[in-house]
Amino acid sequence: MKPTKALISGCLLIACIISFSAKTQSISGIVNSYYQVTAVNTGSNSVTVSNSTGLTPKTRVLLIQMKGATIDASNSSSYGGITAINNAGNYEMNTICNVSGNDVYLEFQIMNSYTPGDTVQLVTVPSYKSVTVSDSIKSTPWSSAAATGGIVAIEAADTIYLNSGIDVSGQGFVGGALFNYGTPTYNCSFLDPVTAYYFSIIGTMYQNGGIKGEGIADYIGSEEAGRGKLANGGGGGDNQNTGGGGGGNYGAGGFGGQSTALCPNTSVGVGGLSLSSYGYSTGTNRIFFGGGGGAGHENNAVGSPGGNGGGIVLLSAPTIISSGMSILANGSKPYNPALTDPYQAGGDGAGGGGAGGTVLINGTISGTINISAMGADGGNASYPPASRCGGPGGGGGGGVVWVAGSSFPASITAIVTAGQNGVGSSLNATCAGSSEGATAGTNGNTQPNYLLPASTTNVCTPLPIPELEYFTGALMDDGALLTWLMRSTDDVYSFQLQSSTDQLNYQTITIIKNVGKENLTYTDSRIIYGTTYYRLMVIKTDASVYYSEIVPLTRSSNNALNFISLQPNPAADNLNITLFAKTTGQIKTVIYNSFGQKVASILTQINVGYNKLSLPVAELPAGAYYLKITGNDFAEVKAFIKR
């Protein structure tokens, strides 16, 4: 229905007394749910998840592959270099069409390729008309075992109000864990230098190293430790007591520091790779967690692990309103709570800092917002004795802040700096303040021209109800009679009868709980002129959803204009009117309060067929009102309640 000049003028009149702003839902805490994807079925446009509990049709979801890159596995400085990115970092937004068992059918054609064996997850994205972040939001931290977590994604059709912050710092790829290579089982020798780029976690008497930080490539069996990087994961320090490398994202991680321990070693943890050439562009739209830092080599139980990388934040709305709130996706600094100073290794090697994560803003910022995707500092090292210095950790690389629009907005204060390398302890006169060769990471990037990948090709095909014998309808004097027969209702939870006037937007008109009856009827007592389309939705006990064929029923009328519906009633924000017209023309809609005073008036041009008019009533005082609709040879008065 195209608005006329008169309609626009009427809307301006209403705007004088009715604010178009609506009350928004408030959210806080963990708002996303995470599901491990075990199969991507391109033929049926579906994914299989390990457990579909909680997934329902029309839920918005983010499909994303976290890992999958192939790396160089040679025992050389090339170890951990990316030889093929494969499907790592691919992602897209979609909507659930149907759920059957653990198979989740998607509404829009899957755009990208995914390899489920390389940690693909399906993340629910809460979607609102408008929404307020009322208290801090975080994600469930990334878990490589569960292959889920680390992402906050929120969507709104109109506005996201940031009245509080979002924090996914340290919730991305995990830093290398500590493994204590205690002596005498694991010794070192001047005659047996340790220079290898990979070892098994346990290693051997001399040949061992700290565990690598997690990155976009999977660990190779029996090569989880040692100084070689793991794509953007930092390498672990080699025996004895060298520092771990920092994780990488857009910026590369820094190298760990050498040790002057009992067996000095310069074979330090290598910093994680920069991923800037593998994604973060309109041509190659891939996104990544910040890489984990590598662990320092530990043999006296006083080292530090690698720091975790930052997670991913995605906000998508036409307008995002903030007054100085913060979005944080920083890497985390190496931390060992067993130490006197948990951020400083006590004679063993220190871990590398985690890399900054990724923040995506798909909308226009109103007000000001602070966004940080910083790399973390590497761990400090070197308690006494003064004759020995353990290796400090390398700094984590900076992350990415990527926003929609042709230029980066001045309303965003963004920090994507890299972490600094660790240094020697002030308690050790020999290496106090010394980097011992450890280096900082490199900075990340802030950039415009972000586009959210989402297909517009709708391929949603409702699943037929296998137990349905028939579903029919007939017009009666008192409405429409719908009848259906089931062969069995053993696994049926409930029936929902739905109707539509355009075959696109269906509304539920009744919900019937399953009580074991197989022959059911329902009378829709609304007298609706023109064609109404009915369908039956069956919800199973396992939460899967199935649909009947559509039954069209057409009721003729001699009137040129017929009132169809007024919804919702009571109304909170908007009052939706549906009319059926046989001819084009103009109608006048007037709202009266309970005292008979005219509150607002609108002129609307209507066309042949169904016409829908939405009136904003959010700011009307609560109470009873009357709606009068007048056209040629037509007048209808309806009462409604404003909540």
Instruction: List, for residues 239-257, the tens digit of each pLDDT value.
Output: 999 999 999 999 999 999 9
List C-alpha distances in Å: 268 to 96, 117, 261, 265.
48, 31, 13, 8
Walk across the sheet containing 574-581 and list its strands.
Answer: 561-567, 574-581, 609-616
Q: Strand pairing partners for 575?
A: 615
List CB contacts of 314: < 8 A, sequence separation 6 or more.
62, 125, 151, 152, 153, 154, 360, 362, 452
For residues 270 and 203, what is the distance between their CA atoms, to the nearest angstrom?
A: 19
The DSSP-derived string for 526-548 is ----EEEEEEEEEEETTS-EEE-
Q: Which two tokens stand for residue 95?
A: 């909507």
Give the confidence band of 429 by pLDDT, cuts at 50, 70, 90: confident
CA-based radius of gyration for the chain:
31
Average pLDDT over residues 490-497: 96
Q: Give the residue range(s) of CATH 2.60.40.2550 domains in the chain.
A: 5-20+558-642
For residues 31 and 61, what is the distance between their CA atoms, to the nearest angstrom?
A: 12
What pTM was computed for the model? 0.78
> Helix (H, G, I), strand (E, B), or coil: what is residue 250?
coil
Q: Give the residue range(s) of CATH 2.60.40.10 domains in the chain.
A: 468-555
Give the confidence band of 537 by pLDDT, cuts at 50, 70, 90: very high
pLDDT at 360 over 50: yes
Instruction: List, for residues 54-102, the tens digit of each pLDDT value.
Output: 998 889 999 999 999 999 999 999 999 999 999 999 999 999 998 888 9
For residues 588 and 605, what is the distance between their CA atoms, to the nearest angstrom?
A: 9
Q: What is the CA 63 to chain-centroid distance, rounded?
A: 9
Percent of the chain with pLDDT over 70: 96
pLDDT at 222 over 70: yes
User: Burial letters for 184-214: b for 16+ Cβ neighbours within 10 Å, e otherwise?
Assistant: eebbbeeeebbebbbbebebeebbbbbbbbb
Give domain 5-20+558-642's CATH number out of 2.60.40.2550, 1.20.58.100, 1.10.10.410, 1.20.1050.10.
2.60.40.2550
User: What is the predicted pLDDT for the residue at 230?
Assistant: 98
pLDDT at 21 over 70: no
Helix (H) or strand (E) holding 609: strand 609-616
User: What is the predicted pLDDT for the residue at 639?
Assistant: 86
Give the confidence band of 30 by pLDDT, cuts at 50, 70, 90: very high
Q: Which CATH class is domain 468-555?
A: mainly beta
User: What is the predicted pLDDT for the residue at 23?
Assistant: 52
Instruction: List, for residues 261-272, the tens digit of each pLDDT value.
Output: 789 999 999 999
Of 113-117, 323-327, 332-336, 591-595, the one with minimum mean pLDDT is 591-595
* Number of alpha carbons in the 13 Å side-chain half-sphere of residue 501: 18
Dihedral-angle region of residue 16 (phi above 0 means left; psi in -120 to 50 means alpha; beta otherwise): alpha
HEC letters along 290-311: CCCCCCCCECCCCCCCCCCCCC
User: What is the predicted pLDDT for the residue at 509?
Assistant: 94
Average pLDDT over residues 463-470: 91
Instruction: List, for residues 575-586, the tens digit of each pLDDT value.
Output: 889 888 888 889
List CB contacts of 596: < 8 A, sequence separation 6 or more.
none
What number of other Cβ atoms are within 10 A of residue 150's Cβ?
30
Q: Which two tokens stand for residue 352?
A: 């590398």
User: What is the predicted pLDDT for the residue at 581?
Assistant: 86
